[in-house]
Structure 1
Amino acid sequence: MLPFVPIASLLIELDVRTKFLDCFTHAGGRKINLSVETRRNILAVLIAGATNLGLTRMSEACGVSYDTLAWTQEWYVREETLREANTVLVNHHYQLELAKKFGGGTMSSSDGQRFPVRGKSLTGRDMNIHGGKVLSTYTHVSDQWSTYGTKQIIPTTREANYTLDELLGNESDLPIHEHATDTHGATLVNFGLFDLVGKALTPRIRDLGKITMLRVDSPAATNVLYPHAGPLLADRWNEDLIRGTWDDMLRMAGSLKFGEATASLVVGKWSAASRQNTLAAAIKEWGRIRRTIHAARYLSDPVYRRKISRQLNKGESLHALRRDLHYAQQGAMVRPQLQDQTEQSWCLTILTNAVITWTTEYYAMGIKELREQGREVPDELLSFIAPGHRENINFFGFIEVDIEGETAKLDDGWRPLRPTLVNEAGTTFLLNP
């Protein structure tokens, strides 16, 4: 039932409802209303970055000169404006009724996606497992399928160092409290810091039975309280160490929350610190306590396990959408500088969120029409819908960015759904497939 639409038309339609292009202000600080031509050029630059076409090929595809696109990219498209535009899309998606069926916006997950690198690159590294030089894009995805954080990292560094960065820097309306990762994020330092800043780290840990779980009492007393789980609690926590460094731990957490230090720097330093560093040892000890609590709940609560796995699957499923969008030049990054790579990854994030938001809106319209036709669509099934649907969106071919023409096609701000018919058996058919 969803209408077929080119990617440029989708972005134009979303801008009519969200005005996310207003976030692209001139680098000179001039606050002016963007003209139709400037909006067209910004959209062309966004598509060129996300699809990996580059400005030269994009100029041929959309009919705008290369010099015009290069000037627009230089003065309007930078990390600051890209982040702000992405936040507008995430906030708009968060307010949609159907998005609230996907999740409450309180949980997220993070995962890295490898992209091949062509030519020289400051962030690319050779990795045999990926067949050559790659770089990593580390994204944070909410339980509503929206991506609120993106960061370019060196693929050989540990992703756990960057898990907390985007959560503390989250400027969207998403009230993220709980965060899921794979084993890569399950470090003791992360467990401790997440709790100290008021967040909950809930990873899916490989070989969970091999970790050491802590107790707060003697083995005999613990076995009396927990006859089944007592034997698993093999070590006693160091209460004196925590008590002696508690004030310093809180001060460090305050520095992270108020932006005095970056989480990636702190996590990296404390993870590599020696055992003689008292504060680092205390953070890891607090992390052992939080990991024990998480492991106990993970082992005993199947609903808790399914929630974590489901959220991780949401983040990983968006990798396919990003690969489809980032199709040109065999998906290889060709820009050597970190700043250019960061801007390109944010272009890809904006287009990914645009597809998710647009699809969610039209899914809601389709559900409403089915119900009006007498079709039963239970609310409890709506949380299983995946808005990463992309078969009806055209990422290829001649790209015409015609704002006035596309806006005129909208009926009260929306495209008509494709007409359907429900037969006596309750089966829905497209009249014009």
Structure 2
Amino acid sequence: MATRVFSDNELELLRGFPEINREELIRFFTLTPADVGFIDPGRGRSPKDRLGLAVQLCTLPWLGFVPDDVASAPPAAVDRLAERLEIPVDELRSYGTRKQTRTDHLREVSRYLRWKPAKALELKELDEFLLARAMEHDSPSLLFHLACEHLISSRVIRPGVVKLLERVGSARAEAGRETYQRVAHLLTGQRMAELDSLLVLDPEIGVSRLNWLGKGATHDSAAAVKDELAKLTYLWGLDGHTLDLSKLPAERRRFLATVGRRLTPQPLDRREPQRRYPILLTVLAQSATDVLDDVISLFDQAVSARESRARNKMKEVLAARAAAGENRQALLDEILPVLVDTAVDDEEVGGLLRSGIGMERLRAALEQAAPRSIPLR
């Protein structure tokens, strides 16, 4: 199982020393006076054992475990410790040729730092932690790294990579069983039949209902609104909007809904009921929410588009009215001097205006007279 999560190269990296940055170097590979006293040569330790012990002492809080090949520790870290202890760096090359020495030193380091080996109680707590995280995340690599962080924070020495991955796999399987148990009360015979019908080709629409629900509207046309309303009616008919999945963590619901939308009906149909029905339940509930949001969004877009068209039309009307007003004002400026000129007889006013301004222009001005209201549609 481990090789399905990590490649062989990745597994080797997880078992050994990674690269170290400056912050880690200062934080983990700085010896306190108490640390130096713990490594003290007065205890009969050779220079190589002192340097090897120092590497283990600093590595355990950094990685949560100590790689077997202690001599392969980052050179910068070894140089820092060797300088502090005044021991030649080359002494580390011959450290740990005797496996028991490394084991004994790690035991001493763990006692000094108050770290614990991963025994029954610690593993039980780890399993509980992993189950809680597996209910939120299904990625085995993420769960592995979360487990490593948990062990470090609990000061528990990390087990081997394969053993830890086995516990990750067990937690994922248990999360699947726990998920089913939390939604089992919703799975009546009728509900399971309705969920299974999502995976069957529906002659009325030409595809499965699962595929149909997964295709959102791409534009705000009347046909798109009609299609989304049809989906909403269908989902409400299945009581998708009333499904209470609050017993599942939000992250678990999102994960299951994503799986349901990513897979085609055939792979989903082949899954055992304990895995298939929780997925379909979350797809149904999430679709009811998403389609309602789409319907509201489409109506909002339609109203906004209509409002925009009305606003543009109003601007055009106002612009035309302004232009007509300017023309009529210019005409009035020509008419008024004739009307107020007392030297012009009343009988001559009409003929003078018609001949001076022209009937064509007068008729055009009359036709431009517009109603006072502004159209809104």
Structure holding more strand per residue? 1
* RCO comparison, higher one (Cα < 8 Å, 6+): 1
**TM-score between both structures, scaled by the size of structure 2:** 0.25
Q: Which has more radius of gyration?
A: 2
Greater per-residue helix proportion: 2
> What TM-score comes out, normalization by structure 1 length?
0.22
